[in-house]
Structure 1
Amino acid sequence: MNLVERDLKVIWHPYTQMQTAAPPIPIVKGEGVVLFDENGEAYIDAVSSWWVNIHGHSHPYIAQKVAEQLLKLEHVIFAGFTHEGAVELAERLLAILPNNQSKVFYSDNGSTAIEVAIKMCLQYWHNQGMPRTKVLALKNAYHGDTFGAMAVSGRSAFTNVFESLLFEVEFIDLPDANNIESIKSQVSSIKTDLACFIFEPLLQGSGGMLMYEAEYLDQLMAHCRAENVLTIADEVLTGFGRTGKRFACDHLQQQPDIMCFSKGLTGGTMALGVTTCTQAIYDAFLSDDKLKTLFHGHSFTANPIACAAALASMDLFLSPETMENIQRIEERHARFALKIGHHPKLKEVRQIGTIIAMEWETGGQTSYFSNLRDKLYQHFLKAGIILRPLGNVLYILPPYCISNEQLDYIYTEIEAALEIF
């Protein structure tokens, strides 16, 4: 029995209709930007394996640091104990974040980092005897698949089954020149009930790689601050260079009260979540009253192996070579966007930093269930490229070590697909 047959007997895959999906591709090795299956076929991982891999697969430096840590300390309970990796990672992360971020709370992944942030905001107000229960969020948002994260995500086919169980959220359009004043008025009208505003800064990933301008997000954040509404920046996708700067919030004048990270945090090596916050939020939980404690934790909070991977990834991320690669990819994407921007089959080409998205003209709204998605996906697999379209939105989101030749090959195959589909 081969690996695929064994898989189908025992595995339930994510975001997959198991009755109709094609058999999974058995990957046995990764090296740089390339993944290899059991038959030796090579695939360019142009989506960074769900947006997590920023330095390439099986990076020897990260592997070395993880191996060293495994022989020293694999795990320790993080309530009442600490360890060098967790402290150093928090120190180094805070040093490159907006300067109002003061404390680090560890969790397991992007969804749990969001859960922590929401609980921080809700309990911040509760601890001060001023309970607020509403959250402001963007339409088409995606913040994760746990219940709190689903609640602050845009309503869709993915949340329909659970909608009656999700807490109340006030949804707004992406802020722009036409609606910013009305959104400000909306915030002012509900400010006494509003615990926080959560957003994916400048880029809504799962919503279809939707992009919006820093100017209007800045205005909205400033208004939230003026109205005493906390702000949460979900940088799970946008963090660690994806938007061309270290963090998407580096494009902004305003600073969020809370920030959330995962995905690229460990270079895609393993799961780790981080929620950072201001000193003022942290201080609201300091009390002789134990009931004002933030009652949240995970068995693998601040796992030393994950922290070692994150520290190694940060070494690579802050190197001049990585910064040069980010700029190189950004420039090549921009040139390709100009080349295909007026293609009659494309409704729009969007680009920010190392991410470029091409929205096929389908005469309707973006749909995850578009047949075009499956056709494009299979087309690129046959060409040895992993591109996983969001409905009719095709995007490239590569590891930073991708070569110019590999990028050019992807661009050429996209142009070929435009002539076919």
Structure 2
Amino acid sequence: MPMLFPNLRVHQVFGANTDVGKTLLTTALIRSAASRGTRVSYLKPVSTGPEADSDEAFVRRHTAPYADLVHTRCLYQYREPMSPHLAAQLAPDLPFPASNDVLVRGVQDYIRSATPEGHVFVETAGGVHSPALHPPHTQASSLRALRLPAVLVASPHLGGISTTLASYESLLLRGYDVAAVLCLHDSYYRNDDFLRPYFEERGIGFWDIARPPDRRGSVAEDAVRLGEWYAHVEGEGRQEDGGGGVGPAVRHLEDTHARRVEEIRGMPRRTLDSVWWPFTQHGLVNREEQVMVIDSAHGDHFDAYYAKPAGEADSQPKEEAARESLLEPYFDGAASWFTQSHGHASEPLTLAAAAAAGRYGHVLFPSGTHAPALELAEKLRDTVGDGWAARVFYSDNGSTGIEVALKMALRASGRRYGWEGEIGGDVGVIGLRGGYHGDTIGAMDATPASTFNTAVDWYKGRGHWFSPPAVLVQDGVATVSTTAPDAWAPVPGANPTTDGWAMSFPSLADVYDLQTRRTSPLATYYRQHVRETLERLAAEGRQFGALVLEPTCLGAGGMVFVDPLFQACLVDVVRASADLFAGQPDGEAYNAALAGLGERDPSEWQGVPVIYDEVFSGLHRFGYHSAASVLGTTPDISVYAKILTGGLLPLSATLASQSVFAAFLSNRKVDALLHGHSYTANPIGCAVALKALGMIGDAERDGTWAAPRQDWGAARWSFWRKAFLDEVSCARPVKGAMAMGTVLAIELQDSEADYASHVAQGFLDRLRGQQLGDPAFRVHSRPLGNVVYVMTSLFTPPETVRAMEAAIVRELK
């Protein structure tokens, strides 16, 4: 719900406390703007106290000389002069918004109805943190979605410096721009002597305004004196006892608005001239209208600006252009590259970051500790690492977390199988075709050649990658099917396809029922296929030191949902195949090890260490904390990032079992895990991660996701409705679709079905052209070749998801 118009200057007036002259000075600002022939609108969203004494009545009364230019309104007026949420409770006969969002929508509608040029002043009630109509939110929080530039009225009273600075910092922490600070002059306390240099040092205009006359005599006499005061302060002049007028402040607001509009309009060209984007072909993205300027973000949305193509901008009527906000809300359908989970600018996460920044900044971590890092390590061990993990290693992001995991696994295998410390060795990993683990050299080498790495001169794929059977809903039917290039033999009960075979299931719940499927003929077939492949590779002299999996779903590789039974069987076979990794093929030993997997000690790795890359999928992205609950088996090493901090900061954690940790224990430093990052265990990131995990835990306990769980009626569930997924899967342009947790993936029909395909981009461009929902928003996402994906956060309102479902169905039809 962002609001930025070319020639309409909208500002929100906050007070540092009650009784600081907020309405008095707002009226002065209105008169000053109107005195130059400018139209001005005034809105009081919520007011308490008798209507005759209301702020709106005061403004209307004292702007009477400019009545033809000034419009005033109050949305909700309550009789009792007390906190808004209490005053509303005592007036059940008066209108009451169903939520704070409804109130915000009323503010937005009023602003949109205002004249396309001039000023709008929205005056809040009480102080910055006066309660909103629906606790526990305050005004600063509930109005944040609009992010209107703020005018802060400072307190001139004793203690006013403290309340003013606290109010300013509260606004700053919540993402507001403070455009100006006004303070009534007080020659005794002289708060302006401190506040002026404080704010001017921060580039914020500060104005000390002459005090109004004291009340004395009759009401009529007071009104005459106040009118004379207004006539003076709406201009420039200063009074003998100190303070001046608001005229310079009004011009400052106009100038800062003009600079903001100019800056936003100029950012696309400046960006094209100076930035090198990741994963972007600049030969294709080189026009200003292709650049999304994100002015801010809040909840699930970007507040973004797109330049109009030259022809379209020139042809638009001037009046129509003036009434259009430059900023529009765009749903962050790519979850900001899979990181976003708690909503942008989440207040609890922001406050956690601020508290840790104020306490620690960043501190050195080796051989030391601090509370956020220690508590987060214990939290991860007790949740995603429950029953198997002993240690937590911190790094900067998912890719570096995988580098750490590979070093752990390969060293542990090398010490067990005898290639310890071999420089230039040719040890590889076992993985899945289509997997993606990051863009550092080691992480790239752990994946097969693809669009992501074939143009990297140092790339050397080190391993073998199975082509995993994939899960899709096709024409309303849950299907598991194979893909080339693995040579898949016919499977009893499956239908042959050009790439192997396909098998139908009564429901997705049946696909993910591994307790039943583990004893099926398909499980036997999977294990045989994996074992025979590994035997062939061992006979060729290939050596492997780790199994690296993206459990459940290959994210960047095309949002491929892998048959969980195949991944579980792959883990089983690798763990039972120590004979192959030791270079001594022994079928009897393999069969015995396979039979004994049910009794294995989860803290002891077998075969080679198993790495779960849960950077994308873990921590409830797919409706579960860890993929161990899906695959029925725990890893030896796992990696978490992205959602780990709720999408606020880069941080990665690599968890390892005791047996992996023990491989690095000795009396020689050279045997240690010699890997680290300058910002290892950054206290701010760790504190935010603790808060983010706590919010997930609270949602689980409070039943926040009870409705979507009930809709699916199964352990595997999604925020996207089951009926919607079935409908999408039957659409003519769709090859298949899948949804789990926050993620929706739609594979479109295309002969060029890989990352180079442009069909999904075209679909997303058309989807972005639709305005949907109330309040209206658009959808922004990024394609993966012929795959369209859209992700919610963990806290996206159901009505937002329903609006996107309807738009997707419309576009597919």
Which TM bucket (shorter chain)?
over 0.9
Rounded to whole Å, the distance in 2 between the matches of 1:412 and 1:155 is 38
Aligned partner of 1:405 among 799, 803, 810: 799
* Distance in 2, Cα, partners of 1:201 & 1:167: 20
Q: Secondary structure at the match of 1:123?
A: helix
Residue 102 of structure 1 corresponds to 390
Partner of 1:114: 402
Q: Which moved more, 1:112-121 or 1:39-48?
A: 39-48
Asked whether the equivalents of residues 326 and 400 of structure 1 are also in contact (C-alpha less than 8 Å), the reply is: no
Q: Aligned to 1:317, what secondary structure does the other structure show?
A: helix
Paired position in structure 2 for 1:204: 554
Q: Secondary structure at the match of 1:136?
A: strand
Q: CA deviation at 1:262?
A: 0.6
Question: Do the aligned residues in 2 keep the contact of 1:140 with 1:155 (CA within 8 Å)?
Answer: no
Which stretch of structure 1 is more off in the superposition, 182-191 or 140-149? 182-191
What's the offset of the Cα at 1:325? 3.2
Q: CA offset at residue 193 of structure 1?
A: 1.9
Contact 1:244 1:330 in 2 (8 A): yes
Specify the alignment match of 2:621 in structure 1.
242
1:111-150 to structure 2, matched below 5 A, reads 111-128=399-416, 130-131=418-419, 133-150=427-444
**1:194 shift after superposition:** 1.5
1:166 aligns to 2:460 (yes or no): yes
- For each residue in 1:251-271, what CA deviation from the matched residue of structure 2 results, as whole angstroms up to 9, or x when unmatched? 122111100111100000010
2:343 is aligned, of 56, 72, 86, to 56
Secondary structure at the aligned position of 2:680 is classed as: coil
Matched, 1:287 2:666: yes
Take 2:706 and 2:404, find their aligned partners in 1: how far apart are those partners?
A: 30
Please list every run of 5 or more consecutive structure 2 residues that lacks an aligned counterpart in the other structure: 1-262, 306-325, 421-426, 470-481, 483-521, 578-606, 709-716, 771-777
Give the whole-Å Cα distance in 2 for the aligned partners of 1:95 and 1:26. Answer: 41
State the partner residue of 1:357. 745
How far 1:126 moved relative to its partner? 3.2
Partner of 2:704: 324
User: What RMSD, in angstroms, separates the aligned Cα atoms of the two structures?
Assistant: 2.0
Q: Is the 8 A contact 2:621 2:794 kept in 1?
A: no
Residues 331 and 86 (structure 1 numbering): CA distance in 2 closer, same or farther, change over 3 Å?
closer
Q: Is the 8 A contact 1:241 1:326 kept in 2?
A: no
Question: Does the C-alpha gap of structure 1 residues 120 and 326 become closer, same or farther in structure 2, counting only changes over 3 Å?
Answer: farther
Which residue of structure 1 lines up, in the alignment, with residue 762 of structure 2?
375
TM-superposed deviation, 1:273: 0.9
1:312 deviation in Å? 1.0
Match of 1:194 in 2: 544
CA offset at residue 333 of structure 1? Answer: 3.3
Q: Alpha carbons of 1:11 and 1:45: their partners in 2 closer, same or farther (altered >3 Å)? A: same
- What is the CA–CA distance in structure 2 between the aligned matches of 1:50 and 1:229, rounded to whole Å? 31
Q: Which residue of 2 aligns with 1:304?
A: 683
1:35 to 285, 293, 302: 302
Alignment partners' CA distance in 1, 2:527 and 2:780: 38
Give the structure with higher Rg (CA).
2
CA distance in 2, matches of 1:110, 1:70: 23
Matched length: 418
**CA drift at 1:19:** 2.5
- Deviation of the 1:24 alpha carbon: 2.0
Equivalent pair of 1:32/1:59 in contact (CA under 8 Å): yes
- TM-score, with normalisation over the residues of structure 1? 0.94
- Give 1:230's aligned residue: 609
Query: After superposition, what is the alpha-carbon deviation per residue over 1:317-371, rounded to whole angstroms, capped at 9, x for unaligned?
Result: 1113686338627153322111222112111112223222111111x25222223
- Deviation of the 1:377 alpha carbon: 2.6
Q: Hey, what's the Cα distance between the residues in 2 that align with 1:373 and 1:271?
A: 29
Quote the offset at 1:4 in angstroms.
1.9
Is the CA contact 1:122–1:131 (under 8 Å) kept in the aligned structure 2? no
Mind listing any 5+ residue stretches in structure 1 that lack a counterpart?
A: none
CA contact (8 A) 2:447 2:465 kept: no
Percent sequence identity is: 30
Task: For residue 303 of structure 1, report the CA deviation from its aligned partner.
Answer: 0.4
Amino acid at match of 2:352: K
SS of residue matched to 1:324: coil
Aligned-partner residue type, residue 308 of structure 1: A
Q: Which residue of 1 aligns with 2:692?
A: 313
Counterpart-to-counterpart distance in 1, 2:724 and 2:340: 23
Deviation at 1:36, TM superposition (A): 0.4
8 Å contact 1:135–1:197 — kept in the other structure? yes
The answer to whether the 8 Å contact 2:362/2:679 transfers is: yes
